[in-house]
Amino acid sequence: MADIVLVGINYRTAPIELRERLAFRAEHLAPAYAELQGAGLPEALILSTCNRVELYAGTPAPEAATRRMMTFLQLRGGFSGAEGQESFYAYREPRAVQHLFQVVSGLDSMVLGEAEILHQVKQAYEWAKEHGATGKVLNGLFQKALNAGKAVRTQTAIGRGGMSVGTVAIELAQKIFGDLRPYTVLLLGAGKIGEVTLKRLMARGASQVRIANRSADRAAAVARRHGARAVPWEHLEQQLIEADIVLASCSVEQPLVTGEQLHRLMSQRRQRPLCLIDLGVPRNIEPSAGRADNVYLFDIDDLQELVAHHHGQRQQAAGDAQTILDHKVRCFLAWHRQQERRAACAPSASELVGAR
């Protein structure tokens, strides 16, 4: 009989300094899944977002699998000894199932009811399938979890207003600058989060928005869709000189903007204030950049005070969503147990041969 197990770390249990050490980019997945399969975890799925890194598995040996998964993540993050151990959580079925359904529905997000997490879980599932890392257990789990997430979004008000981390970042910029129309906003990254943030910026009245991305074609396409201006990636320093607000959401190995760079560029800006909001994990901007005069740097963990305000407004919708999820979880667990009973009762190949 296969159990569903989960080992992870998230924004509640660990600061960004630890989470970014575990973050997976798309190009990391092939060797990671090969390593997991070599460690005796043929059914495994990696979910890596700005606020969490979680590893799911379907296994007949849950205790041994949990140890292997914990070791895999600790080695991945370069943790030594007891470092960071208190930041990890490990759940077994049914708690692991309940947790995933809450994650995919936005109930476990920093921004309660955020829309991006449904897409992120779907992408993680598709990547795991492409690498041959899922089987009957995880396919059933993630298909039903994604369906539950969609049901929550259509049947409750949890996602009303399209709140996201990007939206909260824009609210922070508005608290600092007020009306955004006179200011130049630079977006670094034209991925899903970057495009959603751009859309929200335009809706909030920002009129001087520039977008830079490693893929110039992608930046141009996103800019056209939303009435922004695409700028060359190689002109990043000039854009940092001209911008008033920078919102960064790129997937990176190393910071795009360094402290030394900001200290140097501020003299060319004549010390004009610069607000940097870093939504990336790993971080796009070195923390030391915030020590430059007239530079105000915020990372994703700094947004939590604003997020708390929105949580209070959405508690009723969260209760409605949890009621739906409780039912969906019970249905999945009943289905999963039925599948396990059928597998246990099915005759083996040798029995079928003997019957002939």
CA-to-CA dists, residue 147 to 79, 154, 205, 345, angstroms = 36, 11, 35, 29
pLDDT at 192: 87
Which domains occur in the chain, in start order?
Answer: 3-160+315-355 (3.30.460.30), 165-305 (3.40.50.720)
Q: Please answer whether residues 36 and 44 qualify as being in contact, where contact means their C-beta atoms are separated by less than 8 angstroms.
A: yes
* Alpha-carbon distance values, 247 to 188, 263, 274, 299, 334 (Å): 6, 18, 11, 10, 45
The encoded tokens of residue 60 equal 């007949």
How many angstroms separate the CA atoms of 97 and 58, rounded?
11
Residues known to be catalytic: 50
pLDDT score for 151: 95
Say which range, 130-139, 171-180, 299-308, 323-332, has the weakest mean pLDDT: 299-308
Comparing CA positions, the residue from 197, 196, 140, 200 lying closest to residue 328 is 140
Residue 105 and residue 122: Cα distance in Å, rounded?
12
- Does the pLDDT of residue 158 top 90, yes or no? no
User: Which residues, in sequence order, are bridge partners of residue 263?
Assistant: none
Distance CA 115, CA 159 (A): 7
Residue the block writes with tokens 């989960």: 6
Under the phi-then-psi rule, with left for phi > 0, alpha for psi from -120 to 50, and beta for the rest, what region is 6?
Answer: beta
Which region among 142-146, 154-158, 239-243 has the lowest average model confidence (pLDDT)? 154-158
Pull the structure tokens for residue 90.
């490990």
Instruction: Calculate what percentage of the chain has a pLDDT beyond 70.
Output: 95
Residue 352 pLDDT greater than 60, yes or no: no
pLDDT in tens, 57-97: 999 999 999 999 999 999 999 988 788 889 999 999 999 99
d(CA 191, CA 218): 8
Q: 48 - beta bridge partners?
A: 53
Q: What is the pLDDT of residue 339?
A: 86
Half-sphere exposure of 338 (CA within 13 A, CB side): 7
User: Which three-class secondary structure state does DSSP give residue 62?
Assistant: helix
Question: What are the angstrom distances between the C-alpha of 187 and each of 29, 156, 218?
Answer: 27, 32, 13
Residue with tokens 């141009």: 220
CB 29 within 8 A of CB 46: yes
Q: Are 5 and 92 in contact (CB under 8 A)?
A: yes
Provide the greatest CA pair distance for the chain.
89
CA distance 94 to 159: 26
CA–CA distance, 9 with 49 (Å, rounded to integer): 11
Neighbour tally for 86: CB within 10 Å: 9
Residues 53, 7: contact at Cβ < 8 Å?
no
**Average per-residue pLDDT for the chain:** 92
DSSP H or E segment with residue 311: helix 304-345
Q: Average pLDDT of 232-244? A: 97
* Nearest one of 176, 51, 172, 54 to 114, comparing CA atoms: 51
Does residue 219 contact residue 195 with C-beta atoms inside 8 Å? no
Residue 258 binned pLDDT confidence (cut-offs 50, 70, 90): very high
Based on its alpha-carbon atoms, the radius of gyration of the chain, rounded to whole angstroms, reads 22
According to the model, what pLDDT value does residue 190 have? 94
pLDDT, tens digit (0-9, with 9 covering 90-100), for 193-216: 899 899 999 999 999 999 999 999
Q: Which residue has the tokens 């955004």?
A: 180
Top-confidence residue, 129 or 305: 129
Of 278, 271, 275, the closest CA to residue 293 belongs to 271
**For the residues 38-64, what does the mean pLDDT come to?**
96
Note the pLDDT of residue 313: 61
What are 298's strand-pairing partners? 277
